[in-house]
Amino acid sequence: MNANAPLPPRARQTPPRKTSATPKKKKPKRRKWVVALLSFFAVVILGLGLFAGYLYLELNKTLDDIALPEGPDSKPIASADSAQVKPVSMVLLGLDSREGTGTLNTDVLMVAAFNPKSNTATVVSIPRDSLLDIDGYKQRKANAYYANFYAGKRDEGLSSDDAYTYARSEMRDMFGEFFGVPFDYTAIINFKGFSDVVDALGGIKVYVDQDMYYTDSADGTKIDLKKGEQTLDGEDALGFVRYRKSKGGRTPESSDFARNDRQARVLAAITDEMKSLGGVTKLGKVISAVGDNMTTDIPREQITNLLKAYYDLDSSQIRFIPLEGSWRSPYVYLNDSSVEKAKAALAEELSPEGRQAGAATPSAAG
């Protein structure tokens, strides 16, 4: 071959033949998913922020309604006296002030002590018909004292507001004398408030221990419940804790002691429902219901301290102790041993270290 001869032309490069294999799908753009995810989180955070802001506004409005009004002599709560540092005790009253009754009877009577160190509470319930024998006070049914304190001061010419203030203070002092421990505050909620709180939570699940039927056209009471576990709305929950006697013998009667047991179980159910995810979303309505129907002598700042200290309290950390005794019409005569047990429990809760949650007395809520 002549070395100087031109090279032959290169072979034409043909494109590869198509195959029958399925072409690969294009990968989604990761950026779009990241943006979508960040947008979702932004919406959630914004929603939580708006919800928290709404709760803050509702709480502020409620505190204006229920807290002890601030006066020119009001002083800030000392840090050593804050509910986040020091045990706090109070008298809790359920007031029957429904239209048609014309009474101020406190048909639900409890005293409570809270300890921030152990993050526990003790609640003692007092049968409404208990005959109390307390130095310096006239003997009468427990549920009649508040109304008598109020009426006595009204008869002396005090204004309604001043008479209510006096009655709250006397209830605190009287139960302090009875249980041998000081009580710091008094909180009063009327029956409508109790019912409204349950409705705001969408009802509570409890075990109804017996059939209950009672009606009273004078005050509009209608209780018609069947035995068994069920979800009660506000009206039915109120009937459940109030039921004592039947209408026409259709259902068995109930004692004050059974009522106290039901009150403790309902209080536990409300506490746990408020702690649930569903309950948290309903807090605004609950706060509003409380504000419309509760009065206290607790300073605004201390209420905030209490909420901060015990926001995570649930029924397992609350020790319920019902006072026991015997019924001899028209009174409940309390057992001395039952009263002494309650005194010791309250004193323990108010001690600096409180109590161990695991050592809680089995409660009626269980």
Residue type, 109: L
Q: For residue range 156-204, list pLDDT tens digits in order.
A: 999 999 999 999 999 999 999 999 999 999 999 888 888 999 999 999 9
Average pLDDT over residues 316-342: 94
Strand order across the beta sheet in which 88-96 lies: 294-296, 185-190, 88-96, 105-115, 120-126, 318-322
d(CA 14, CA 19): 15
The pLDDT assigned to 107 comes to: 87
Average pLDDT over residues 83-94: 95
Q: How many CB atoms lie within 10 A of CB 333?
A: 14
**Arithmetic mean of pLDDT over the chain:** 83
The pLDDT assigned to 99 comes to: 61
3-class SS of residue 327: strand
The pLDDT assigned to 69 comes to: 78
43, exposed or middle or buried, with CB in 10 Å at 0-12, 13-18, 19+? Answer: exposed
Average pLDDT over residues 355-361: 59
3-class SS of residue 126: strand
Structural tokens at position 158: 């005090």
pLDDT-based confidence at 358, cuts 50/70/90? low
**Cα–Cα separations (whole angstroms), residue 292 to 197, 266, 273, 343:** 10, 20, 20, 33
The fold for domain 67-359 equals Aminopeptidase (3.40.630)
The pLDDT assigned to 276 comes to: 77
DSSP 276: S
Question: Cα angle at 334 between 328 and 336, to 5 degrees?
Answer: 135
**Cα–Cα separations (whole angstroms), residue 166 to 146, 174, 209:** 9, 12, 38
The pLDDT assigned to 112 comes to: 94
Q: For residue range 120-141, list pLDDT tens digits in order.
A: 999 999 999 999 999 999 999 9
Q: Give pTM, 2 decimals.
A: 0.78
How remote is the C-alpha of 261 from its chain's centroid?
A: 16
Residue 35 has pLDDT above 90, yes or no: no
Closest by CA position to 109, among listed 146, 67, 66: 146
* E strand or H helix at 198: helix 191-200
Phi (first) and psi of residue 106, to 5 degrees: -95, 90
Residue 152 has pLDDT above 80, yes or no: yes
Q: How many CB atoms lie within 10 A of CB 140?
A: 14
Identify the residue with better confidence: 266 or 6.
266
272, exposed or middle or buried, with CB in 10 Å at 0-12, 13-18, 19+? Answer: middle
